[in-house]
Structure 1
């Protein structure tokens, strides 16, 4: 269904319509809310490609190699063996079809089995029920909440903090080889 591979410089233009779509970015990066021009998006995208403390992967359709979003791990800490999961599916035609869960499970595998992490966390907007469901299906558990931590459409809502530990992931998936 999908393949994860490094983002390429030529992928930047794919983000123009996505970031311009209020529905697509509603629960995504706060930085997306302020981006209005291709130049702003290009600046963000170039910085994303250079970020050495993140694993930034494009989500590509296997059949056509078309980019439909990106996902990965940010704030990677070798000392704490941890990172923060993120996902953004810009192509709305692929929402609600299991792509988010599949991508999440693969990024967890990469984080634990390839990058040697012990803990992967995320925050998700409470109204983003599809996101909460996908993360729960991938093994994340709720740790707590950040009260009124996000403002969208002039309204504040809570962010839910979720995480999965390597031992929990191994128990569900079997030993990492």
Structure 2
């Protein structure tokens, strides 16, 4: 388990999938979490998520990455998930992502704590030197949280996302170990 100031990152359990199923089928959450891929993200049967869990989450490879469930420290509530993936051991880089499904925990600093906790683990325990992520330009809450944690915009793919009938840019952000240590 990895502990932050407000959250704890734990291994995903089969029980956690029930909450993830609920969140993924919340259209507003799916749009924020997946952008133009939300049509694939929501309406996913629980059985499909369980099959994915059995096939992929039960065997963890450092290079493939890892998915964590996010729990609050105060009340032990499961509020979201985060992951790292696309680890390159030569360039010492990885890609991260996160989502908070419980709306009561939005705008409370939980996202920033998730990012800091995951980044600290990747930089200090795995000796990575660069972490990147991407989101869509309409997800202002996520962009603010990433910038608050030191991520900088490194690129923009213009009109690369299509959410709720409008085009948005894909925002690529990165964080260098040398900027935070």
Q: Given the two structures, how large is their TM-score scaled by the length of structure 1?
A: 0.88
For 2:135, the equivalent position in structure 1 comes to: 124
3-state SS, counterpart of residue 18 of structure 1 = helix
Indicate the structure whose relative CO is greater, using CA pairs within 8 Å and at least 6 residues apart: 2
Unaligned 5+ segments in structure 1 are 171-177
For 1:104, the equivalent position in structure 2 comes to: 115
- What is the aligned-residue RMSD (CA, Å)? 1.7
Q: What is the CA distance between 1:48 and its match in structure 2?
A: 4.8
Maintained 8 Å contact 1:48/1:56: no
Q: What is the CA distance between 1:31 and its match in structure 2?
A: 5.3
For 2:18, the equivalent position in structure 1 comes to: 13
Paired with 1:85 and 1:128, the residues of 2 have a C-alpha distance of: 16
Q: What is the CA distance between 1:51 and its match in structure 2?
A: 5.2
Q: What is the CA distance between 1:12 and its match in structure 2?
A: 1.1
Paired with 1:5 and 1:99, the residues of 2 have a C-alpha distance of: 15
Q: Quickly say closer, same or farther: Cα 1:136–1:78, change in 2 above 3 A.
A: same
Paired with 2:39 and 2:102, the residues of 1 have a C-alpha distance of: 17
For 1:92, the equivalent position in structure 2 comes to: 103
Q: Given the two structures, how large is their TM-score scaled by the length of structure 2?
A: 0.86
Unaligned 5+ segments in structure 2 are 1-5
Q: What is the CA distance between 1:76 and its match in structure 2?
A: 1.2
3-state SS, counterpart of residue 32 of structure 2 = coil
TM superposition outliers: structure 1 runs of 4+ over 4 Å: none
What is the number of equivalent residue pairs in this alignment? 170
* 1:135 equivalenced with 2:159 (yes/no): no
User: Which residues of 2 match residues 1-177 of structure 1 at below 5 A?
Assistant: 1-29=6-34, 32-34=38-40, 35-36=42-43, 37-49=45-57, 50=59, 52=61, 53-170=64-181
3-state SS, counterpart of residue 85 of structure 1 = strand
